[in-house]
């Protein structure tokens, strides 16, 4: 069974990271770049943050909460650190704890499910409601690859091959196509078919429809453009 792949708008959200490990650095950077606000909950002060993490803390981009007894306060953190407009429930949770703390990981997962909070648990696909893709970003263009937990190295290899085959100015291409699309919409001055401009609309049955050379209707001209 395949997963439903989506691109989530997370600007302004509050994402909770429980536990700290090397993978947390990547997660934190991705969260900040998406416009969300990360809060790291850990039971011990990280001995050495990489320079970019230290910079995030200094610039108030990353909040770090050191709590030696955080395992007894999970529900409190999940339901109090979020935004006021969602009743202070956090928007997303990333768990990075050792397998020796499996009972705690299971408890966090169960509580997140009850609160309908998307949760990702490192190295525990059975304790995840979402997974992170291997991604490439250039401007408004984003590419994501996943093997659904079957092989992270394979996903990285596939992503690298795909990225190497892309035009170097793919971000400029996306920007120009977007401008062209808006111009055509203004010139048409007509309501487009519902959903035809979504990224997954390429499966629309009209995509490869034959456009006659002569006696074109307005709909034919619109489809051709």
One pLDDT digit (tens) per residue for the chain, 225 residues: 788 989 999 999 999 999 998 899 999 999 999 999 999 999 877 777 888 899 999 999 999 999 989 999 999 999 999 999 999 999 999 999 999 999 999 999 999 999 999 999 999 999 999 999 999 999 899 999 998 878 888 999 999 999 999 999 999 999 999 898 888 878 776 566 666 667 666 555 555 666 666 667 777 766 666
What are the distances in angstroms from CA 199 to CA 23, 103, 195? 30, 40, 9
Q: Are strands 14-18 and 92-95 parallel, antiparallel or unpaired?
A: parallel
pLDDT value at position 213? 65
Q: Are 3 and 146 in contact (CB under 8 A)?
A: yes
- Pairwise CA distance, residues 201 & 104, whole Å: 42
pLDDT value at position 214? 66
Closest listed residue to residue 63, CA positions, set 34, 97, 37:
37
What are the distances in angstroms from CA 32 to CA 48, 76, 225? 20, 24, 38
């Amino acid at each position: 069974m395949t997963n439903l792949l989506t691109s989530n708008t997370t600007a302004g959200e509050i994402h909770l990271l429980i536990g700290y490990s090397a993978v947390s650095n990547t997660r934190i950077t991705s969260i900040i770049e998406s416009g969300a606000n990360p809060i790291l909950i850990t039971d011990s002060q990280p001995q050495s943050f990489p320079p970019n993490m230290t910079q995030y803390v200094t610039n108030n981009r990353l909040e770090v909460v050191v709590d030696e007894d955080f395992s007894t306060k999970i529900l409190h953190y999940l339901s109090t650190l979020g935004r006021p407009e969602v009743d202070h429930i956090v928007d997303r949770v990333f768990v990075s704890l050792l397998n020796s703390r499996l009972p705690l990981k299971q408890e966090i997962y169960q509580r997140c499910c009850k609160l309908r909070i998307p949760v990702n648990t490192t190295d525990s696909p059975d304790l995840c409601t979402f997974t992170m893709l291997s991604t490439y970003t250039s401007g408004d263009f984003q590419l994501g690859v996943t093997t659904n937990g079957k092989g992270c190295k394979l996903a990285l290899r596939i992503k690298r091959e795909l990225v190497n085959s892309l035009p170097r100015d793919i971000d400029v291409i996306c920007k120009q196509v977007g401008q062209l699309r808006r111009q055509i919409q203004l010139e048409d001055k007509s309501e487009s078919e519902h959903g035809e401009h979504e990224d997954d609309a390429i499966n629309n049955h009209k995509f490869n429809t034959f456009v006659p050379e002569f006696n074109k209707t307005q709909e034919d001209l619109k489809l051709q453009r």
